[in-house]
């Protein structure tokens, strides 16, 4: 069942990501991750620094939710320096058929990974790599990790 977008912006972003996926293939991941890194500075020009993993999660929560499309963001735990992330209610998960890619491999996912990686680094000073661990369609949640590099 196709989930309905919250607003027209989500539909537009979804159509862009589907087209990028089809036209650029595997190159879309690197391009979109880079776009997410760049967007961190445009969306949030200034952040507090030197914060813990859990503090970073609280700071990022409101900003990411305010963007729309990605749903509710939270860092649910810090297991040995690895942030356990949950995105609940992400509209973009409904676009897997149109993009031809599963969750975690869609261009919009790589945009989100880059955005979270760079924003997290700016707040905590820790450089990470964000990856999808699993998607639970029943709970409408993506579970990801931010692992230090």
Residue 139's CATH number: 3.30.1380.20
Query: Is 37 among the domain residues?
Result: yes
Query: Mean pLDDT lowest for which of 65-69, 91-95, 98-102, 111-115?
Result: 98-102
Query: Is 57 among the domain residues?
Result: yes
Query: Is 18 among the domain residues?
Result: yes
Query: Mean pLDDT lowest for which of 3-12, 13-22, 53-62, 138-147?
Result: 3-12
Query: Is 123 among the domain residues?
Result: yes
Give the mean pLDDT of 30-46: 90
**Which of 14-28, 57-71, 90-104 shows the highest mean pLDDT?**
57-71
At 1 the pLDDT is 40
- How many angstroms separate the CA atoms of 61 and 59, rounded? 6
Evaluate if residue 138 carries a pLDDT over 50.
Answer: yes
Phi/psi of residue 114, nearest 5 degrees: -65, -40
Give the mean pLDDT of 92-107: 81
CA atoms within 13 A on the CB side of 61: 14
**Is the pTM above the cut of 0.75?**
yes
Give the mean pLDDT of 111-129: 95
Query: Is 1 among the domain residues?
Result: no
**Domain encompassing residue 82:** 8-148
Query: Is 132 among the domain residues?
Result: yes
Query: Is 2 among the domain residues?
Result: no
Query: Is 130 among the domain residues?
Result: yes
Counting the structural domains of the chain, the total is: 1
Mean pLDDT value across the chain = 87
Residues 6+ apart with CB under 8 A from 23: none
Q: Is 118 helix (H, G, I), strand (E, B) or coil?
A: helix
Evaluate if residue 101 carries a pLDDT over 90.
Answer: no
């Amino acid at each position: 069942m196709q989930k309905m977008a919250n607003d027209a912006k989500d539909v537009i972003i979804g159509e862009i990501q589907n087209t990028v996926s089809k036209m650029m293939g595997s190159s879309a991941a690197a391009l979109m991750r880079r776009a997410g890194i760049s967007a961190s500075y445009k969306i949030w020009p200034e952040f507090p620094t030197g914060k813990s993993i859990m503090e970073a999660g609280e700071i990022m929560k409101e900003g990411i939710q305010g963007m729309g499309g990605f749903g509710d963001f939270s860092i649910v735990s810090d297991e040995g320096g690895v942030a356990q992330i949950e995105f609940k209610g992400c509209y973009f998960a409904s676009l897997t058929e149109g993009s031809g890619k599963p969750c975690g491999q869609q261009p919009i996912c790589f945009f989100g990974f880059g955005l979270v990686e760079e924003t997290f680094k700016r707040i905590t000073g820790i450089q990470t790599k964000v990856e999808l661990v699993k998607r639970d369609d029943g709970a409408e949640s993506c579970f990801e990790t931010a692992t230090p590099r």
